[in-house]
Amino acid sequence: MSTHTPAPWRLEGVRGRTVLGPDGKQIAEARLSLDRDPNEATANARLITAAPALFAAAQAAAVNALDIDGSDRVSISREHLHDLYAALRIAEPSR
């Protein structure tokens, strides 16, 4: 199975709807449908751009939260929580 393009991904283009990988090559583009709000395409592009960071943060948090002592308690480190919020801010800068 193939893996995704490595991070970081960034937005480019006049309206910030083109997603580029670290090598500057296009990964995706959020297109505008005639029946949609133009800002929705830009928000979708931000969410796509955040995908690698969200995946890495969720994966690290899940591993960190594994129940290793048999109790029902689950915890997450501040570092992993910070990484999750940082990834969410890529998708929604107003957070």
Phi-psi region at 38: left, alpha or beta (left = phi > 0; alpha = psi -120 to 50): alpha
pTM: 0.73
| Residue 83 neighbours by CB distance under 10 Å | 19
Give the model's confidence band at 20: pLDDT under 50 very low, under 70 low, under 90 confident, else very high: very high
CB 56 within 8 A of CB 78: no
What pLDDT does 40 receive?
A: 86
- Contacts by 1-6, CB closer than 8 A, 24 or more apart: 4/51, 4/52, 4/55, 5/52, 6/52
Residue-wise pLDDT tens digits, 23-74:
999 999 888 777 778 888 888 888 999 999 998 888 888 777 765 566 666 7
